[in-house]
Structure 1
């Protein structure tokens, strides 16, 4: 419905701009944003810090760089354990080891993709979990855990009884959805499977009113080229840290 009054229209545009700025800021601290909203019910929290249960993901988020008490992190991270932070890291004592794990590129898509999705994409469930675990262990190691698939929806394409390619949803808020675990078995590369899956899930989230985004290593130029070809654009560079709580006898 059109707004006839310019004063009201300007007020609406100002409020809408402020809302978009707030929502975009959520992507600067993705772990915390997701743990404080979409995944709040499964988060383990202490003060201004929260983490995923280890069987979901080894990720921890903090509200900001300065306001997190070290006691809160001690309540969440066991002695000798390593967790990962994205975008925002805490300032800690030498009882912790914080290192850049890898620099990432955060990419985003705000409009639908004109792409033939095909008819062989299926939603993956518990019956497909072992296949998904095997594929991610082969080409997407480290961060995919036994219950990661419960963080969102996952989809795949089978060829000759094998999971040839898959994709899924991981971090998210009401407004944004991270697309993750985009991977293809080495026996089925160069067939456009990942591109079809990415197009399908991108368009589906846009229809649901959620803006899709993803993270990719800045060294993975092949994946970045794929995402750029399908219309994803660079939003920002974002640091990915490993954080280890030193053991008492270290």
Structure 2
């Protein structure tokens, strides 16, 4: 059995082996989420990624492989590298309690469209509507609309990733994200799992995460590919 540290080095792989196994697609020993859920893939043997990516590209026109330090091999006849995103992993070191003054709502399936619309408004990129199925989501409502959220994404028997930290541009700088991250972190701790998160290197949010008790632990690179 892999220990926690080994799982953290390859979080997509182990999420698909454990909690998210029902979303697993596997090609030649490379693991992917079903593209209706999430467009992440993972590997241990980079010599197998070219064939696997060719197969996955039949299902979706863009997708990621996530790795700590390995470089995937591709077949440029069918797949092209769009960009490599230099990311990092953060792990909760010491939980720092802050006062929660807002009414935080546990979001349900009836909020799926609102979650999707808010994420695509702020970060128009790769989030899938069914990404809501990966974990719990929490939100703050103002003026009868959802204005700030956090969610859970990758998870194993040992950790849960905080993700989907998004606030509507008209409602920023009010401490909503800080309170939602704190609430989500507490819920993960209650589940007796380790809270983690991923972000881009140099992201302006890193100091906020550090103030909430998270510590930078390792690089985590996101290789974005397109079907040719």
TM-score of the superposition, structure 1-length normalised?
Answer: 0.82
Deviations 1:169-220 (A, max 9, x none): 0011110111100011111111111001111111221121111111111242
Displacement of 1:86 in angstroms is: 1.2
Deviations 1:24-82 (A, max 9, x none): 1222222212122211112112231121222211112223323x264333332218822
Counterparts of 1:213 and 1:167, CA distance in 2: 13
Counterparts of 2:137 and 2:26, CA distance in 1: 26
Counterparts of 2:149 and 2:138, CA distance in 1: 6
Does structure 2 retain, via aligned residues, the 8 Å contact 1:122–1:155? Answer: yes
1:169 match:
152
Does structure 2 retain, via aligned residues, the 8 Å contact 1:107–1:214? Answer: yes
Counterparts of 1:236 and 1:155, CA distance in 2: 27
Instruction: Give the count of matched residue pairs.
Output: 225
Does structure 2 retain, via aligned residues, the 8 Å contact 1:107–1:236? Answer: yes
Higher strand share: 2
Displacement of 1:150 in angstroms is: 0.4
Whether 1:29 aligns to 2:6 is no
1:155 match:
138
The residue matched to 1:34 in structure 2 has which SS?
Answer: helix
Counterparts of 1:101 and 1:90, CA distance in 2: 11
Counterparts of 1:99 and 1:127, CA distance in 2: 35
Does structure 2 retain, via aligned residues, the 8 Å contact 1:184–1:193? Answer: yes
Counterparts of 1:229 and 1:53, CA distance in 2: 35
CA RMSD of superposed structures (Å): 2.1
Whether 1:220 aligns to 2:203 is yes
Displacement of 1:92 in angstroms is: 2.8
1:236 match:
218
Counterparts of 2:169 and 2:158, CA distance in 1: 34
Whose Rg is larger?
Answer: 1
Counterparts of 1:242 and 1:118, CA distance in 2: 39
Does structure 2 retain, via aligned residues, the 8 Å contact 1:113–1:202? Answer: no
Unaligned 5+ segments in structure 1 are 1-18
Unaligned 5+ segments in structure 2 are none
The residue matched to 2:129 in structure 1 has which SS?
Answer: coil
TM-score of the superposition, structure 2-length normalised?
Answer: 0.90
Counterparts of 1:101 and 1:35, CA distance in 2: 22
Does structure 1 retain, via aligned residues, the 8 Å contact 2:95–2:212? Answer: no
Does structure 2 retain, via aligned residues, the 8 Å contact 1:50–1:61? Answer: yes
Counterparts of 2:202 and 2:121, CA distance in 1: 19
2:176 match:
193
Displacement of 1:143 in angstroms is: 2.1
2:89 match:
106
Structure 1 segment 61-80 matched on structure 2, within 5 A: 61-66=42-47, 68=48, 70-78=50-58
Displacement of 1:117 in angstroms is: 2.5
